[in-house]
C-alpha cells in the first residue's frame, strides 16, 4: 500500500505537450479514477506513474521516495492493460505466476499465492487453459490476477474494461469495487466512461488537454463542476448550457421572455458586461409543468427519448434547446406546449471567457 504523488509533472512528445504541470496526491488505499477524453493525457499520466513512460520534468513519489528515474520493475507497481497483455503461449497459471517466477519466489509459496488469487477472482477452473480459450471477462480476471498476485504497492489500470461488452463491464465494475474494498490497495484507474468513473471512484481526476481540471469525489464533481469542460463532460445527458444576460435578479435567455425567479443574492456579483455568462442546467434541474405556473416560461417539446425509468424530453425555449429529465410518459409527444421552470439551487453560471464556474467550485 502506498501514497503516490505527482509534482509539477510535464511530458512532451516532441513538440506536443501532453501533461502540463500536473500536481496530484493519491492517498494510501484510495481508489482514484482519471477521467478524460482520448488524447487528454490520462493514460500518459498513468504510464508515467508506472514507469512505462518517462517524464520530461517534475517528480513522481511513491511513499515519499522519488521514483521518476527508476525503471518500472523497481517501482513495485502492478499494471492492468486495456488489451490485457496476457502472455499467449502460457497457461493461465503460468501467466499469474509470471511476476512471482520473475523474482524467483519458491515454488510452494508461489503455488499457494496463485491458487489463492485464482480463488478470489473465480478463475480456479481455468488455471490450465490458454488465455485464447477464455472469454473476455475471464481474460480480464486473469490480467487482474497477475497484477494482484504479488501484492503490489499500487494497482494501476488503463481502461481495463474498455474492450468488454456493456453487460460484462457492469459486472466487472462491481467485482473491481468489491476487490478494492477487500484488498484496500491504492488504485489508479483510467477511463473515458463517466459511469464507470463515478461508480468506482473515491475521488475522480478530470484531465483535459494535459491539464488537470478538477479533483474531487464523484458527487462533488457532478454537483460543483469547476468549469465548463467538467460540467459538460460529466453527466449524461450532457448539461444544458445557454448564453444568458444577467440584469439585477433577472436572467434573460435569447429570443424569449422568461421569468425565472432567482432568490435574493443568488445572482450577486454575477452581472458582468461584455464577455457574457453561460447558464448551466443539468437535465434534472429543469422542471416541466403542463399548466401555466408562476416563474415558468412557455416552451414546445421537440423530441422525446423514452428510457423506461425516465424520459429525456427536448424542449425549445427561445433559441435554445434544453434537454429535460422527466418522469416516464410525462409528456405525450412532440410539438406539445409545456411550461419550463428551473431549480435555481442547481443552476450553474460560467464565465464564457475563462470557462470557470462563477459560483466557485468546491
Partner 1 sequence: MPSEVMTRLDPKSHAAAKGMSDLSIRNLFIVPTIVFLIVFNIFPLLYSLGYSFTDFRASTNAPANFVGLQNYRELLNDPFIWKNFSITAKYVLISVTGQVIVGFGLAMLLNRSIPAKGLITTLLLLPMMLSMAVVGLFWKLLYDPNFGIINYFLGLGKFEWLADPDMALYAIAIVDIWMWAPFVMLLSLAGLSAVPKHLYEAAEIDRAGSFYTFFRITLPLVAPILMIAIIFRTMEAFKTFDLAYVLSSQPNTELIAIRLYKMAFQEWQTGMSSAFAYIVLIMVVAITNIYVKYLNKVKAR
What letters, b where the CB count within 10 A reaches 16 and e where it falls short, cover 81-110? bbebebeeeebbbbbbbbbbeeeebeeeeb
Q: Is residue 83 a contact point for partner 1 (CB under 8 A)?
A: yes
Residues 6+ apart with CB under 8 A from 172: 137, 140, 160, 161, 164
Stretch that binds partner 1, among 84-92, 133-141, 175-183, 264-272 (CB under 8 A): 84-92
3-state helix, strand, coil in the chain (%, to 5): 30, 35, 40
Q: Is residue 146 a contact point for partner 1 (CB under 8 A)?
A: yes
What is the nearest approach in angstroms of partner 1 to the Cβ of residue 319? 49
Stretch that binds partner 1, among 2-10, 28-36, 71-79, 255-263 (CB under 8 A): 71-79
> ∠ at Cα 137 (87, 113), nearest 5°?
60
Stretch that binds partner 1, among 98-106, 240-248, 258-266, 297-305 (CB under 8 A): 98-106
- Pattern of binders to partner 1 over 107-136, x per CB under 8 A? -----------------------x------
Stretch that binds partner 1, among 87-95, 207-215, 218-226, 244-252 (CB under 8 A): 87-95
- If the CB atoms of residues 16 and 132 are measured against partner 1, the closer one turns out to be 132
For the CA atoms of the chain, what is the radius of gyration? 25
Strand locations in 14-120, DSSP E? 16-26, 31-35, 57-62, 65-66, 77-80
- If the CB atoms of residues 189 and 349 are measured against partner 1, the closer one turns out to be 189
Q: Which of residues 147-186 bind partner 1 (CB under 8 A)?
A: 150
- If the CB atoms of residues 30 and 94 are measured against partner 1, the closer one turns out to be 94
Using CB under 8 A, pick the residue from 27, 87, 125, 343 that binds partner 1.
87
Q: Is residue 85 a contact point for partner 1 (CB under 8 A)?
A: yes
Contact 187, 30 (CB under 8 A): yes
- If the CB atoms of residues 110 and 150 are measured against partner 1, the closer one turns out to be 150
3-state secondary structure of 160: coil
- If the CB atoms of residues 74 and 343 are measured against partner 1, the closer one turns out to be 74
Whole-number Å distance between alpha carbons of 203 and 151: 22
Sort residue 10 into left (φ over 0), alpha (ψ -120 to 50) or beta: beta
Residues that bind partner 1 (CB under 8 A): 50-52, 71-73, 76-79, 81, 83, 85-89, 98-99, 102-103, 130, 146, 150
Amino acid at each position: 500500500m502506498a501514497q503516490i504523488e505527482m509534482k509539477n509533472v510535464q511530458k512532451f512528445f516532441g513538440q506536443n505537450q501532453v501533461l502540463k504541470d500536473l500536481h496530484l496526491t493519491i492517498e494510501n488505499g484510495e481508489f482514484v479514477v482519471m477521467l478524460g477524453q482520448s488524447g487528454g493525457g490520462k493514460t500518459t499520466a498513468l504510464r508515467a506513474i508506472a514507469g512505462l513512460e518517462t517524464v520530461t520534468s517534475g517528480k513522481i513519489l511513491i511513499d515519499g521516495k522519488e521514483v521518476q528515474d527508476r525503471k518500472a520493475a523497481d517501482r513495485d507497481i502492478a499494471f492492468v492493460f486495456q488489451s490485457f497483455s496476457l502472455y499467449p503461449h502460457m497457461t493461465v497459471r503460468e501467466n499469474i505466476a509470471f511476476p512471482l517466477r520473475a523474482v524467483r519466489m519458491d515454488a510452494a509459496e508461489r503455488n499457494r499465492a496463485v491458487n489463492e488469487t485464482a480463488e478470489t477472482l473465480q478463475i480456479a477452473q481455468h488455471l490450465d487453459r490458454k488465455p485464447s480459450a477464455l472469454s473476455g471477462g475471464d481474460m480480464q480476471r486473469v490480467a487482474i490476477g497477475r497484477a494482484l498476485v504479488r501484492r503490489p504497492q499500487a494497482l494501476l489500470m488503463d481502461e481495463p474494461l474498455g474492450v468488454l461488452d456493456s453487460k460484462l463491464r457492469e459486472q466487472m465494475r462491481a467485482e473491481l469495487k468489491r476487490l478494492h474494498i477487500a484488498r484496500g490497495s491504492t488504485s489508479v484507474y483510467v477511463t473515458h466512461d463517466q459511469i464507470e468513473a463515478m461508480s468506482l471512484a473515491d475521488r475522480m481526476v478530470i484531465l483535459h488537454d494535459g491539464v488537470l481540471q478538477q479533483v474531487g469525489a464523484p458527487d462533488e464533481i457532478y454537483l460543483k463542476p469547476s468549469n465548463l469542460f467538467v460540467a459538460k463532460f460529466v453527466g449524461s445527458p450532457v448539461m444544458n448550457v445557454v448564453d444568458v444576460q444577467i440584469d439585477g435578479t433577472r436572467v434573460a435567455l435569447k429570443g424569449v421572455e422568461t421569468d425565472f425567479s432567482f432568490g435574493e443574492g443568488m445572482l450577486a456579483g454575477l452581472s458582468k458586461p461584455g464577455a457574457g455568462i453561460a447558464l448551466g442546467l443539468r437535465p434534472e434541474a429543469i422542471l416541466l409543468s403542463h399548466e401555466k405556473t408562476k416563474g415558468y416560461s412557455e416552451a414546445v417539446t421537440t423530441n422525446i427519448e423514452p428510457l423506461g425509468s425516465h424520459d429525456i424530453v427536448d424542449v425549445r425555449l427561445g433559441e435554445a434547446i434544453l434537454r429535460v429529465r422527466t418522469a416516464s410518459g410525462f409528456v405525450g409527444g412532440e410539438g406539445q406546449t409545456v411550461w419550463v421552470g428551473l431549480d435555481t439551487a442547481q443552476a450553474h453560471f460560467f464565465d464564457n471567457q475563462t470557462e470557470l464556474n462563477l459560483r466557485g467550485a468546491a
